[in-house]
Structure 1
Amino acid sequence: MRPSGEWPARMVQRVSSTRAFARLAPHVVPALDRTVHRLTRGRVLLSARLLPGAILTATGARSGLPRRTPLACLPDGDGGWLLIGSNFGRPGHPAWTGNLLKHPEAEMNWRGRDIPVRARLLTGAERARAWRAAVARWPPYAAYQARVAREIRLFRLERR
């Protein structure tokens, strides 16, 4: 028998690996996360019940305006974070990844605190290690990558 909490997580992982979820989630999950985050003054992100979550504020690549995006993240041991640009397994890169490529100075709202960060796109062996860690923590990332021709972007965010 599985411990309580394990089977719901596996069920959510199966559902989140589907194409139907990839079509619906980008419209529902971020809007819901933004609303709950705002109402709780940064204390709660619903999606963080499955994966650690934060709000990234980055400068728009084209607009130059601040863009707030709720994201799943993986905290690293050095006080930074790994961000995975999976876009729920949809073909294009998520807009926030382009924003970070053009403007790597950003801010993470982590557990209600705003933290200045600098983003760095991972490549080579460092990316491969980070990818293995991401898939170990959330297996649907592998399904997302299998569905798209692009290489999913991974960023390391370090405190400034």
Structure 2
Amino acid sequence: MNRLMARRIRRKGAVMGFNALVLTTVGRKSGAERTTPVGWFPGPDGSYLIVASAAGAPGNPAWYLNLAANPDKIRIDVEGRTVAVTAEQLHGPEREQAWRQITSAAPRFASYQEKTDRELPVIRLTPQA
């Protein structure tokens, strides 16, 4: 299913009513590349905001763990191009501002938060120079 979604995202740039990108991380244990389609929201200065929601599951998705282990070995396919990015998890007021923006644009993320006790991580992906 992920491959099918990734192909569609690479062609159209959107899925299920919101912007999507294909996230490629390096496995924290295997060292192998892993691709996952995720929704994104515009961040400051050309960055991309993503949420490790796992649709409100009790644990973080595997891609989040890979991203946290290798934050500078990430690339995204977005808007018809491939971009090397660096990941940074947001905290405090910066996260709150991004979270308000995300839940305003896509209220389903607020319902994901209600399903779980963990605070859903908000990640900023910044293009590498």
Q: TM-score, normalised by structure 2?
A: 0.91
> Partner of 2:104 in structure 1?
136
Aligned residue for 2:76?
Answer: 108
| Preserved CA contact (<8 Å) 1:33 1:45 | no
Aligned position for 1:36: 8
Q: Distance in 1 between matches of 2:7 and 2:124?
A: 26
Q: Tell me by how many angstroms 1:43 deviates.
A: 2.1
Pick closer, same or farther for the CA change 1:110–1:45 going to 2, 3 Å.
closer
Deviation sequence 1:25-80 (CA, Å, 0-9, x none): xxx5x34312434xxxx222551x51111001111111111111111000224111
Q: Is the Cα contact below 8 Å between 2:87 and 2:125 reproduced in 1?
A: yes
Partner of residue 15, structure 1: none
**Counterpart Cα distance in 2 of 1:36 and 1:54:** 10
CA-atom RMSD in angstroms: 1.5
Of 46, 52, 55, the residue aligned with 1:79 is 46
Larger-gyration structure (1/2): 1
SS in 1 for 2:46: coil
Deviating runs (4+, > 6 A) in structure 1? none
In the alignment, structure 1 segments of 5+ residues that lack a partner are: 1-27
- Matching of residues 1-160 of structure 1 within 5 Å: 28=1, 30-37=2-9, 42-45=10-13, 47=15, 50-105=17-72, 106-160=74-128
Q: 2:6·2:37 contact (CA, 8 Å) conserved in 1?
A: yes
Q: Which runs of 5+ in 2 are unaligned?
A: none
Read off the aligned partner of 1:65 and give its amino acid letter.
A
Q: Which amino acid aligns with 2:118?
A: R
> How many residues of Structure 1 are paired with residues of Structure 2 in the alignment?
127
Amino acid at match of 1:114: T
Equivalent-residue separation in structure 2 for 1:80 and 1:118 (angstroms)? 10
- Tell me if the contact between 1:120 and 1:156 (Cα under 8 Å) persists in the aligned partners: yes
Normalising by structure 1, we get a TM-score of: 0.74
Structure with the bigger percentage of strand: 2
